[in-house]
Structure 1
Amino acid sequence: MIWPSHGSNPQYLYEAMDKQMPEERIDFSANINPLGPPRELKDRWGSLFQYISDYPDPLASLLKSKLAATEGIKETQILVGNGGAELITLIGRMIAGKHALIIQPAFSEYEEACRVNHCTVSYHQLVPGDWDLNLEALSEKLKAADVVFFCNPNNPTGVYYPSAIVEEMIKKCHIHSCLLIMDEAFYDFACDYQSIVPFIGKASNVVVLRSMTKMFSIPGLRLGYMMASEGLIERAKALKPHWSVNVLALKAGEWCLDSEEHVRLTKNLIRQERARLVQFYQQLDFEVSPSSVNFYLLRDPSIDVQLPLFRFLLEKGIIPRHTMNFPGLEGKWLRFAIKGPKDNDVLMEAMRQWRKDR
């Protein structure tokens, strides 16, 4: 069967599994803020209608100005894109024909962008358990690589690697003349996040990718940005389609940056629910990745490939993210988003029944 390559859009998953999709369901496959969009965006949504007759600003000047002030860098070190996916696509075009090393498991679009641009692709595998980066082994692989993709916090494990490890990685990449693509799509869910943005001004071989769709729950609008040296930003900008970011997304992005309280409330909710879920899973002898963000990997250690559990949950209208297309996982884990207490209660009750029936 052909597995859907992303979470969300569960109709394609049920179709691939040859199952009828229940009318009542909870989608745990998309890692979106359970609180939804911030109030600032909800309250002003009606005013966006006046902008749809205007062409969007191709330079995203106002949004870049706010981002630059927030991050303490120059506007010329920022490129706004149609979600992280567009920016990954641009990077793929920038490195066409090069040797890309991907730290796995990871977001599948890194490899897709590399393959379509005729890159040689190799892997550095994180080992299940503590998901250690193993910098010594990674350093050896960097010798042959032109670029390395590293998702931090990692998707799908949720593990966050602190800035001391990242700094060492940046040094090793510099020694081996390797471009480091650091995808921080979920950085704002990590309570102990330590910014690596200051390294952009010191190292010309670092690109930081950010998504605004996850924390602010606006995946339908598509919005993200990359931060890098002015030279790298200019190279990426030259490959970017004109007006690829619509005017509604740009305006929403400006307002979302004023939503500090929304971010604080989200982090508190995620931290509380994650702790509650982990305690529950440990009591029922499930294995869970040591996540620091709004999703986690889970497996029933009594079975190898988790398809029986996956099918059981789908029949109950509970939709995890399969891991069939994550190299190194191949279905041995399932990924779940952390949702609000009510939805998490439904999930836990289903997991109790799974344990009871086995």
Structure 2
Amino acid sequence: MKWPSHGSNPQYLYEAMGMELPDQYLDFSANINPLGPPDALKMKWNDFYNKVTVYPDPYSITLKEQLSKKEQVPTDSLLIGNGGAELITLAARMLEGKKVLLIQPTFSEYEHACRVNRCEIIIHQLEAPDFELNLDGIRQKLRDADALFFCNPNNPTGIHYTKSDMIMLMEECEKHDCLFILDEAFYDFLEDYQSLLPYIKRFPNLIVIRSMTKMFAIPGIRLGYAVGDPATIAKLQNLQSHWSTNAIALAAGELCIEEEAFIRRTQTYIANERNRLFTYYKKQGFMISASKVNFYLLQDPYRKDEFALFEFLLKKGIIPRHTFNFPGLEGNWLRFAIKNSQENEQLMEVLNQWRKHQC
């Protein structure tokens, strides 16, 4: 069976399952902010119309200057992209034919982009349910690697690895002349995040990739940025298509970057909903990953696999993210985004029905 490689677009998932997409459903497979975009974006949306007749700034100067001021990094250390996915693709192009270490399970786009560019893939597998790093094992494999892709907080587990672990990996990569590509697509959902951007001055082998589509709920626009040593950023920019980021995305980013209160409100909301859900899951005997962000893995330990639960949920119009294409998970877990309170309540009601169905 050919499974969709990403969440969202549920029609493809139902098609793969040989099922009809219901008229009403809740999509828990796309892990974006349940509060939706900031109000400022809606208020300014009509103003964006005038931008469709003008070419976008190919250098994204205004947004770069805002990011430079906010993150305290030089503008030549920044590259704006068409979502994090484009920046991952550019990094893979830069690594064409080289050896790349992946820490699995992780975002499937790393492996796809690297294989398209004929990279040799080295795997370090994390073991469920704790998904501990086993740093000694990573050290051994870094000796043969030209680059390491690392997602923190990790997708699909939602687990956040410590700053000290990241520094160790940066040091180890530097020792072996290995590029460290750190994907922080969900960093801003963490309440106690410690920025690693100051380390780009100390570690020229570090690239940090961030997405703006998750926190600000704008996946249809596509916007992200990379931060790194100016020489590396220049290499990535040389591989980028001209005008890859459209004018509306840039204007939206210029608004969103100022939304500090919105980010704090989101963090509090997600933390409260996550605590409520996790309390319910533990009471009902479900296993969950130790997520610190807006999504998590779930497993029913009373079943040999999760396919029956997966099918049950789809029939009820609840759409989780399958894990058949995450090495080490192979469908034995389901990933859920944290949505708004009412939608999370509906999920728990359907899981109550599942428990009764099993009795």
TM-score by structure 1 length? 0.99
2:26 equivalent to 1:33: no
Q: Give 1:204-353 correspondences, 5 Å limit.
A: 204-353=204-353
Give the corresponding residue for 1:190. 190
2:221 equivalent to 1:201: no
Alpha-carbon distance between aligned partners in 2 of 1:168 and 1:192, rounded to the nearest angstrom: 20
| 1:128 partner SS | coil
Alpha-carbon distance between aligned partners in 2 of 1:63 and 1:189, rounded to the nearest angstrom: 21
Q: 1:44-91 deviations in whole A, cap 9, x for unaligned?
A: 111111111110000000000001111101000000000011111101
Alpha-carbon distance between aligned partners in 2 of 1:262 and 1:44, rounded to the nearest angstrom: 16
Give the Å deviation of 1:326.
Answer: 0.3
| Structure 1 portions without partners, runs of 5+ | none
| 1:87 partner SS | helix
Give the corresponding residue for 1:52. 52
Q: Give 1:154-173 correspondences, 5 Å limit.
A: 154-173=154-173
The letter for the 1-side match of 2:234 is: E
The letter for the 1-side match of 2:19 is: K
Q: 1:248-282 deviations in whole A, cap 9, x for unaligned?
A: 00000000011111111111110000000000000
Alpha-carbon distance between aligned partners in 2 of 1:47 and 1:304, rounded to the nearest angstrom: 54
Structure 1 stretches of 4+ with a deviation exceeding 3 A read none
Give the Å deviation of 1:131.
Answer: 1.4
The letter for the 2-side match of 1:65 is: E
Give the Å deviation of 1:129.
Answer: 2.2
Give the Å deviation of 1:175.
Answer: 1.0
Alpha-carbon distance between aligned partners in 1 of 2:180 and 2:308, rounded to the nearest angstrom: 38
| 2:102 partner SS | strand
Give the corresponding residue for 2:135. 135
Q: 1:77-119 deviations in whole A, cap 9, x for unaligned?
A: 0000000111111011100000001011111110011001000
Alpha-carbon distance between aligned partners in 2 of 1:258 and 1:182, rounded to the nearest angstrom: 24
Alpha-carbon distance between aligned partners in 2 of 1:209 and 1:317, rounded to the nearest angstrom: 34
Give the corresponding residue for 2:116. 116
Give the corresponding residue for 1:84. 84
Alpha-carbon distance between aligned partners in 2 of 1:302 and 1:125, rounded to the nearest angstrom: 25
| Structure 2 portions without partners, runs of 5+ | none
The letter for the 2-side match of 1:250 is: L
Give the Å deviation of 1:157.
Answer: 0.2
Q: Give 1:15-26 correspondences, 5 Å limit.
A: 15-26=15-26
Give the Å deviation of 1:149.
Answer: 0.6
| 1:301 partner SS | coil
Alpha-carbon distance between aligned partners in 2 of 1:194 and 1:260, rounded to the nearest angstrom: 16
Percent identity, please: 54
| 2:115 partner SS | helix
Give the corresponding residue for 1:152. 152
Matched-pair contact (CA < 8 Å) for 1:162–1:193: no
Give the corresponding residue for 1:4. 4
TM-score by structure 2 length? 0.99
The aligned length equals 358
The letter for the 1-side match of 2:126 is: L
Alpha-carbon distance between aligned partners in 2 of 1:159 and 1:179, rounded to the nearest angstrom: 22
Give the corresponding residue for 1:101. 101
Alpha-carbon distance between aligned partners in 2 of 1:355 and 1:181, rounded to the nearest angstrom: 42
Give the Å deviation of 1:126.
Answer: 1.4
Give the Å deviation of 1:304.
Answer: 3.0
Give the corresponding residue for 1:43. 43
The letter for the 2-side match of 1:302 is: Y
